Amino acid sequence: MKVLLDLQYLNVATTGIKTYMMELAHAALAYPHPDIEWIFSHDPETQSADQTFKGPQSKLQRLNYHLDYFRWKEFQLPDLVKKHNPDVLICLDFVSPVASLSCRRLTVIHDAFFWQMPQNYPKWWRTYFLSLIKKGLKEDTIVITTTEYSKTSLERYLGKHHPISVIYQAPKTMENSMDSTFLEENGLGSQKFFLHIGTFDKRKNLPLFVRAFDQFLQKTKADFKLVLAGGPGQSAQMNDFPIVEKLIEELGLQEKILLTGYVNDDRVKTLYQNAFAYVFPSENEGFGIPIIEAMGIGIPVIHSDQPALMEVAGDAGLAFKTGNQQDLMEKMVILILDNDKINSMIRQGLEQSKKFSAQKFIEGFQNVILKK
């Protein structure tokens, strides 16, 4: 059975979807199935390294990207289907071609944010993108999503016209070396610190985390820092980075909170390996890959009780009430006072992380692909 994997979106993907796409491509090669022949639309490493549409862009550059994306989905990808005649087409970025195709489709819709949080997206763009998503859900399509929470959410907005399967994804492979000089350069050599890695999207609740950290310092007088690693939100409406910067200044925490910007994989691993704990205060997630990355490296995780994070963390994380600054602060205090709790969370986290392997990830797709 021939399977065509659409990897075009890697030329702009920078966060969770990039990890999803790269790890699936790697797993397809690492764990071949005798009945499946994989065809990649692009070389994943080359496409991921393409800088044409990454970084700050003018309105003209953004328009050119949208035209390029539309041209790919509606013309070039259907032509590729005709060329290779696959049995299955997998689109990993919400959108499948509107055109009728001669093959089955697996379309990955990672979450329901576009429906749940309309205030975070430009109105015209959201309308256009939702139209592309819905028009591509045709013929013999199976929707793939990341958690049972996302499945329930999508059924609310898409109905049950197409079956939805849950496949848990794999965390980023971290076989790269660490960058210890990065710690020294930023005053983290022997410093205990809480960590968050990800964009400054509004749904991440990072201003809440900053306020809770300030409250934690006042209550405990502990010598801790907070590291917020990642780039700005994906649009002006979604971006909390300026708000966080202003809040840090207002609270006088310039020496206590480090904003690293985007960090490469070497530095991501270095931060995970040296953090006291990972904190994930998000109000809405489809999966929450940093939870598994942190647990797999062996640090305790505090997370909001948002359903997808509860599903992924199981009983291995320490949950606080979503949006509750006081509760988050109290959970941070618990960790510095209870070594037994930390050790127990680390053990449980290592076990929980084993449920999310590359082999299980690709086997989930193989099972759906081969199911008659």
104-108/88-91 β-pairing: parallel
What is the enclosing helix (H) or strand (E) of 39?
A: strand 37-40
104-108/141-145 β-pairing: parallel
How many CB atoms within 10 Å of residue 277? 22
CA distance 195 to 183: 13
Question: Distance from CA of residue 251 to its chain's centroid?
Answer: 29
Q: pLDDT-based confidence at 205, cuts 50/70/90?
A: very high
Q: Residue 306's pLDDT is what?
A: 97
Residues in CB range of 298: below 8 A, 6 or more apart: 346, 349, 350
- How big is the CA angle at 174 (ends 143 and 19), to the nearest 5 degrees? 25
For 327, phi then psi, to 5°, come to -65, -40
* Model confidence, pTM: 0.92
Q: Are 136 and 181 in contact (CB under 8 A)?
A: no
How many CB atoms within 10 Å of residue 32? 13
CA distance 283 to 342: 24
The answer to whether residue 14 scores a pLDDT higher than 80 is: no
Q: Residue 70's pLDDT is what?
A: 94
Give 253's DSSP letter: -
Summarised one tens digit per residue, pLDDT across range 62-119 is 888 889 999 999 999 999 999 999 999 999 999 999 999 999 999 999 999 999 999 8
Summarised one tens digit per residue, pLDDT across range 266-302 is 899 999 999 999 999 999 999 999 999 999 999 999 9
| Domains, in order of start, for the chain | 2-170+357-370 (3.40.50.2000), 180-353 (3.40.50.2000)
